[in-house]
């Protein structure tokens, strides 16, 4: 699947989001993940915040089930929801434990202002928007994590095997994760087909905003930002 050369809607999304994604890819959190030099306390902060993010992210899949207009799409999002709640979050707990973070700590974590703003933006869209709008919000996290996984593999190659964050890179560079991202890309194109420009522009706005939140998420975890009061 060659997104970069696609004439479909996701080709447009990919082209126009590059300034945002490239800034994310150069962020010290991402690059130090690839180098294996990211301080453990910053990664621990990320793991805890990502856990509470995933709880709300899963709700978007539930919303997508209710927005779907055919059984096949309902089944698709129901499966993703089940896998997120019963497998992905358990893997997250197991990986967090390797860094000394207990399930109790994960579940006691309170979202930072950026985390809260990001998830509430998406949940608001899920409550009030169409299925296409929900997918446009879901897509940047899934797609850009895949892009980051591939990028770090290309940049750091064999050095990753001795990297303390190798499992993280392996996960997001994996064929399994890539297939999940591609399924959302494909669905985004199907849902966008035939829509008037005003609706496409709204979908792109959601995609751009949530991509900006992805950058802010890296930044928030790198500098360990939390409530100032």
36-92 pLDDT per residue, tens: 999 999 999 999 999 999 999 999 999 999 999 999 999 999 999 999 999 999 999
150-170 pLDDT per residue, tens: 999 999 998 999 999 999 999
Return the sign of the alpha-carbon dihedral for residues 18, 213, 145, 206: negative
Q: Percent of the chain having pLDDT more than 70?
A: 97
Report the Cα–Cα distance between both ends of the chain, in Å, rounded: 47
**Residue 223 predicted with pLDDT over 90:** yes
User: Any idea which residues carry the catalytic annotation?
Assistant: 141, 214
Nearest to 92 by CA among 142, 59, 44, 39: 44
**Residue 25 predicted with pLDDT over 50:** yes
**Residue 5 predicted with pLDDT over 90:** no
**Residue 173 predicted with pLDDT over 90:** yes
Q: What is the DSSP letter of 4?
A: G
Q: What is the pTM of this model?
A: 0.95
**Residue 213 predicted with pLDDT over 90:** yes
Q: What is the DSSP letter of 109?
A: P
CA 77 – CA 118 distance, rounded (Å): 21
> What region does 157 belong to: left with phi over 0, alpha with psi -120 to 50, or beta?
left
CA 164 – CA 102 distance, rounded (Å): 18
**Token pair for residue 161?**
């095997």
**Residue 205 predicted with pLDDT over 60:** yes
Q: Are 16 and 208 in contact (CB under 8 A)?
A: yes
**Residue 141 predicted with pLDDT over 70:** yes
CA 124 – CA 202 distance, rounded (Å): 14
Average pLDDT over the chain, rounded to an integer: 96
**Residue 102 predicted with pLDDT over 50:** yes
**Residue 201 predicted with pLDDT over 70:** yes
The per-residue pLDDT for 220 is 98
CA 3 – CA 145 distance, rounded (Å): 15
Q: Are 214 and 24 in contact (CB under 8 A)?
A: yes
Confidence of residue 1 (pLDDT cuts 50, 70, 90): very low
Percent helix, strand, coil in the chain (nearest 5)?
Answer: 85, 0, 15
The per-residue pLDDT for 6 is 58
CA 44 – CA 97 distance, rounded (Å): 10
Q: What are phi and psi of 122, to 5 degrees?
A: -65, -40
CA 218 – CA 25 distance, rounded (Å): 10
Concatenating the DSSP letter of every residue in 123-139 gives: HHHHHHS-HHHHHHHHH
**Residue 185 predicted with pLDDT over 90:** yes
Q: Which residue has the tokens 């996290």?
A: 141
Q: What are phi and psi of 87, to 5 degrees?
A: -125, -55
Q: Which residue has the tokens 């797609």?
A: 143
What is the pLDDT averaged over residues 90-113?
96
């Amino acid at each position: 699947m060659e997104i970069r050369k696609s004439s479909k809607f996701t080709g447009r999304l990919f082209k126009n989001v590059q300034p945002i994604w490239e800034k994310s890819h150069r962020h010290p959190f991402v690059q130090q993940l690839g180098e294996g030099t990211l301080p453990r306390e910053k990664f621990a902060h990320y793991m805890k915040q990502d856990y509470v993010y995933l709880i709300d992210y899963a709700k978007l899949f539930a919303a997508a089930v209710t927005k779907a207009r055919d059984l096949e799409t309902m089944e698709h999002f129901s499966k993703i929801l089940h896998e997120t709640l019963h497998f992905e979050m358990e893997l997250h707990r197991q990986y967090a434990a390797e860094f000394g973070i207990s399930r109790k700590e994960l579940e006691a974590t309170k979202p930072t202002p950026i985390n809260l703003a990001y998830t509430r933006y998406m949940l608001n869209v899920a409550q009030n928007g169409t299925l296409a709008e929900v997918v446009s919000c879901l897509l940047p996290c899934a797609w850009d994590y895949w892009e980051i996984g591939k990028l770090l593999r290309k940049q750091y190659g064999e050095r990753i095997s001795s990297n303390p964050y190798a499992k993280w890179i392996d996960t997001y560079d994996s064929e399994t994760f890539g297939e999940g991202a591609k399924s959302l890309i494909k669905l985004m194109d199907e849902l966008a087909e035939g829509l008037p420009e005003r609706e496409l522009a709204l979908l792109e706005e959601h995609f751009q905003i949530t991509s900006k939140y992805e950058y802010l998420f890296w930044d928030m975890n790198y500098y360990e930002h939390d409530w100032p009061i």
